[in-house]
Amino acid sequence: MDIVFLAAHVLAACVWVGGTVILVFVAVPYARTLPGETRAEALRALGQGWRLFGWGAMAVAAVTGIQLAIADGAFDDAGGDFDAVLVVKIAAVGTLIAGAVVHDFLLGPRLAHQIREGRPQTLRRPLVVVGWANFALTLTVPVLGAALGHLS
pLDDT in tens, 79-136: 689 899 999 999 999 999 999 999 999 998 898 888 878 899 999 999 999 999 999 9
Q: Is the pLDDT of residue 14 over 80?
A: yes
Counting the structural domains of the chain, the total is: 1
pLDDT in tens, 52-70: 999 999 999 999 999 999 8
What residue numbers bound the domain in which 60 lies? Answer: 2-151
State the Cα–Cα distance between residues 12 and 134, nearest whole angstrom.
17
The pTM of this model reads: 0.88
State the Cα–Cα distance between residues 40 and 114, nearest whole angstrom.
9
What pLDDT sits at residue 22? Answer: 94
Q: How far is CA 3 from the centre of its chain?
A: 23
| Percent of the chain at pLDDT exceeding 90 | 66
